[in-house]
Amino acid sequence: MSAADARRDELSGNLAAVRRRIADACGQAGRDPGEITLVVVTKFFPASDVRLLAELDVRHLGENRHQEAEPKAAACADLTDLVWHFIGGLQSNKAAAVARYADVVESVDRVKLVRPLARGAQERGHPLDVLLQVSLDPPDAGNRNGVDPREVAGLAEAVLATDELRLRGVMAVAPLGQPPVPAFERLAQIAASVRALAPGADRISAGMSSDLEEAVKCGATHVRIGSAILGNRPPIK
């Protein structure tokens, strides 16, 4: 068996296990597994893995770093049905460039990003879907990304004021060292407030390899899974 075949088998088995987890979580929550979009996070993994995932019916890919995501998306440009999600912290001076290849930016956490994202979407020639990244951390947790929940409405209004950006919902990461369910329940409440402003903003991106079940229980529509599918990150060169 070639290395490529072995890797494909590994990814196939891991994908099947994650999809079973999603189905089981939906069963526990009384939800339809078809409501959940699996975003496979491919950061630090090569474009060859993206191609294998595409063969295994994965359409949604997540990337965290612009300097890695841009060339990877370009290398896979022939795979026209892929949906690229940018899920990492975003610098305002890179936002326009990200909007030129990403189909969804999940990490909009401040008004300063709105104008350059809109410019990049305009240059690309079609609207960009965006999610508001909400901080669920306690106030003294440090410098993790995310808009303060009290500022979500203002950020939503800034996105809605543009023609190039489409507000699709919210995204968050569970606080470190705390049970995820209370945080995800709070995110669901924030998501409802955003839907009140934009009825089409019905996505909740929450849950990773360690807490996807809790996220599904609390209403997540998108889960972002990396290590449970791709394995441990390769050494960074």
What is the CA 199 to chain-centroid distance, rounded? 20
pLDDT band at 232 (very low <50, low <70, confident <90, very high): confident
Q: Full-prediction pTM beyond 0.85?
A: yes
Tell me what pLDDT residue 142 has: 63
Q: What is the mean pLDDT of residues 9-22?
A: 98
Q: Residue 237 pLDDT more than 60?
A: no
228: three-class secondary structure by DSSP: helix
Tell me what pLDDT residue 171 has: 98
pLDDT band at 235 (very low <50, low <70, confident <90, very high): low
pLDDT band at 100 (very low <50, low <70, confident <90, very high): very high
Distances from the Cα of 72 to the Cαs of 47, 63, 122, 202, 218, in angstroms? 6, 9, 22, 29, 33
**Structure confidence by residue, pLDDT tens digits, 129-147:** 999 999 999 877 666 689 9
| Minimum mean pLDDT range among 26-30, 138-142, 204-208 | 138-142
Q: What is the mean pLDDT of residues 150-175?
A: 97
Distances from the Cα of 83 to the Cαs of 31, 43, 225, 235, in angstroms? 24, 15, 15, 26
Q: What domains can you pick out in the chain, each with its CATH number? A: 3-229 (3.20.20.10)
Q: Residue 4 pLDDT more than 60?
A: yes
pLDDT band at 92 (very low <50, low <70, confident <90, very high): very high
